[in-house]
Amino acid sequence: MASEGGDLLDIRGVSKEFSGVKALDDVSMGFARAEVHALVGENGAGKSTLMKILSGVYQPTRGSIALDGVELAFKSPKQAQDAGIGIVFQEFSLIRDFDVADNVFLNREPCRAGGFIDKAAERRKALSLFKEIGFELDVERKAGELSIVEQQLVEIVKALSVTARVLIMDEPSAVLTDKELKQLFRIIRSLKARGVTVIYISHMLDEVFEIADRVTVLKDGRVVGTKAIADLDKAELVRMMVGREISDFFPEPRAHREELLLEARSLAIRGRLREASFSLHAGEILGVAGMAGSGQAALVGAIIGTDPADSGELQLSQSSVPPRSFREAMNRGLGYVSEDRKAYGILSSMSLKDNITIAGLGIFLRAGFLLTRREREAAGAQAAKLRIKASGLGQRIETLSGGNQQKAIIARWLLLNPKVLVLVEPTRGVDVGAKMEIYRIMRDFVDSGRAILMISSELPEVIGVSDRIMVMRGGGIEGFVDQAEGLATEEDIMSMAVGHRYSYSEGALS
């Protein structure tokens, strides 16, 4: 729990307005010494605005900030940094061609007489900082050679090198594997033991309950409340964040089976996918679970044609030949949403309208001319149906929240009316409210007589959303769980994923 030394950082009555619009409204909260304090809320709740005020990027319209009892008014990030407030943004700012030590002391390099940089002293100081938090890293390695978690570690040490007493971490786990997340938590606990106050911003509630001492919820620019993690459960936290019960979080699973839309028979890719066989029916969400590297990526590639199968059959649209390209899969009624929306989903420099219609422009062509009015009407209808929040269809998609970007990508495929939609990590990096919206969209899609194959690393999501669950292990299908016979537990799925339970048949536990 937090120390009893009182609040190190105190925020009182802070408001921030942009052109008359309130992003923060009379926000007051305190952060104790040597605690991990989570800050949660839906996109647009005001978290980023508040953190930018604390780190000197923005100045508040009203209110005060006190650090260790001294009221401060930061006019720049450097002033906040000099006062002892560091921030690690979700997007790292390391210079790839510089080594670790150079990045840690960028623009603050130790110098010898004559103004020359003392590289030996720089490396010694960098090594000392890493050892202080219990980690060793070759400080002569180039930043571009580091793993994601190592880059994050360098950002943290960079903040600590200016004697940060408060460290803000903005969505630090967004790109981390489970193993890397454990390393990150070890770093955070080490920082806490050194007396550093960590402000942890995350959409991942499991992480909040594992690492935080207290949590503050923001909604619509106001504080909903602050509670000790020990006095809180997930249901209450979700209710604070979105104003709804956790029982409303996931749609009800369906028990019915309708028309067979997709069937795989012994799909195989040498060394990566073993004799995969399964069926997918209209009106059904089939969730795919398993440990990382269990064959999910190869299975998706074989289905959508980006990684054609060496052998086996895929029955879709009266054809039993697996597609040899993504275009062929599209033409046969498949849609696909990648787990990496920045790299393979959104077209960042284009508008919301263009992102929705880009894959279906052929619908709006007549004699080689684009019917722009019909295109705009169709994009507007999809945006309204999926409740995409934007200032207008012309808004650049990169300026939308993660949840609204994800809904725009899904809208792109709904416009094409596919029979089967393959969703990989459909709610990665989106807030709780957006997750609920995406689950509603998924259920509406299958209720209209179509089907979804969903691959997710979040077991609560797989269990909560799926009508059936297919578990993969070692490149093959370990078995199936039918939710109509009783909701699975995380223990059920994990046991299958690691091979501890030996016999499952398609559709039901044996």
SS3 category, 66: strand
pLDDT band at 28 (very low <50, low <70, confident <90, very high): very high
Q: What stretch of H or E contains 385?
A: helix 372-385
Q: Judge contact between 349 and 300, C-beta under 8 A.
A: no
- The pLDDT of residue 5 is above 70: no
Residue type (1 letter), 330: M
pLDDT score at 333: 92
Average pLDDT of the segment spanning 3-20:
80
* CA gap 75, 477 in Å, rounded: 57
Placement of tokens 């990590």 in the chain:
425
- The pLDDT of residue 506 is above 60: no
Cβ-Cβ contacts under 8 Å for 424 (sequence gap 6 or more): 296, 300, 336, 337, 338, 339, 454, 455, 456
- The pLDDT of residue 171 is above 90: no
The three-point CA angle 154-155-159 to 5° equals 115
Q: Judge contact between 17 and 25, C-beta under 8 A.
A: no
* CA gap 214, 32 in Å, rounded: 9
pLDDT band at 39 (very low <50, low <70, confident <90, very high): very high
- Per-residue pLDDT reduced to its tens digit, 86-128: 888 766 678 889 999 998 888 778 888 777 888 898 889 888 8
* CA gap 451, 315 in Å, rounded: 14
**Closest Cα to residue 265, out of 326, 331, 328, 320?**
320
- Per-residue pLDDT reduced to its tens digit, 259-288: 899 999 999 999 889 999 999 999 999 999
Which tokens hold the place of 7? 């609040």
Domains of the chain (ranges, CATH numbers): 7-94+146-243 (3.40.50.300), 249-333+419-510 (3.40.50.300), 345-417 (no CATH)
**Closest Cα to residue 48, out of 179, 224, 169, 186?**
169
pLDDT score at 249: 65
Cβ-Cβ contacts under 8 Å for 477 (sequence gap 6 or more): 276, 277, 278, 470, 471
Its sign, for the CA torsion 157, 159, 163, 166, is: negative
Strand partners, 452: 285, 421
* CA gap 22, 61 in Å, rounded: 10
* CA gap 217, 40 in Å, rounded: 5
Q: Judge contact between 109 and 125, C-beta under 8 A.
A: no
How much helix, strand and coil, in percent to the nearest 5, is found in the chain? 35, 25, 35
- Per-residue pLDDT reduced to its tens digit, 47-93: 888 999 998 999 999 999 999 999 988 999 889 988 989 888 766 67
pTM score, whole prediction: 0.62
- Per-residue pLDDT reduced to its tens digit, 209-242: 999 999 999 988 899 999 999 999 887 887 787 6
Q: Judge contact between 293 and 485, C-beta under 8 A.
A: no
Placement of tokens 């028990």 in the chain:
255
SS3 category, 392: coil
* CA gap 454, 434 in Å, rounded: 17
Which tokens hold the place of 19? 């052109």
